[in-house]
Amino acid sequence: CLLVALALTGCGGGSLVGEFQQNAPPSGGPGATIGGGAASVPPPTITNVTPSTGDSSGGTAITVTGTGFQAGAIVLVGGKPATGVVVTNGSSIQAVTAPNAPGTYEVQVINPDKQFGARLASFTYLAAPAPTLIQVLPNSGPSSGGTVVNLSGSNYQSGAVVLFGGAAATNV
């Protein structure tokens, strides 16, 4: 048992007086009481994030495993809040990544009691794949324009620009 008395003054005009007592709880693990209150709950820990990679456009369903997760926890991936967070139990969380720049980032779990756990370099956002054009129908039209064209392919993103001979298409 360790008892420490604490008195701080001159900290922004106020003062803090209290004591911290470290006890070994019945389970034998660490525990702490502040000012004689109940032992605090340990912060969450993250042991794994799967999958560990996803597209930089977001939308990757991830599973965070560890300990001490509480209902109502939030998940941050590279500082961006994940969506669809479901605390399955105290050791598993399901979430969906938000968009972020390509790179490797830490994942954080923040419980409603404001305690948090982090795992460094545990999720990598990959650059979005380049668009692939498979078919253009029709494949010709008058030089004056006005032809409706259907582009078939994959990996198109919202806000993409389509050019025909250097001229921007409208109504993309």
Angle at alpha carbon of residue 76, lines to 74 and 81, rounded to 5°: 75
DSSP per position, 10-21: EETTEEEEEEEE
Average pLDDT across the chain, whole number: 81
Do residues 105 and 32 lie in contact, with contact meaning Cβ atoms separated by under 8 Å?
no
pLDDT tens string 48-60: 999 999 999 999 9
Residue 96 above 90 pLDDT?
yes
Query: What local confidence, expressed as pLDDT, does residue 24 receive?
Result: 39
Share of the chain residues as helix, strand and coil, in percent rounded to the nearest 5: 0, 55, 45
pLDDT tens string 107-158: 999 999 999 999 999 999 999 888 899 999 998 888 888 889 998 988 887 7
Half-sphere exposure at residue 66, Cβ-oriented, CA atoms within 13 angstroms: 29
- pTM of structure: 0.62
* Furthest-apart CA atoms within the chain: distance in Å: 88
Q: Two tokens at 167?
A: 């001229």
Query: What local confidence, expressed as pLDDT, does residue 157 receive?
Result: 79
Do residues 90 and 69 lie in contact, with contact meaning Cβ atoms separated by under 8 Å?
yes
Half-sphere exposure at residue 91, Cβ-oriented, CA atoms within 13 angstroms: 1
* pLDDT range class, residue 4, cuts 50, 70, 90: very low
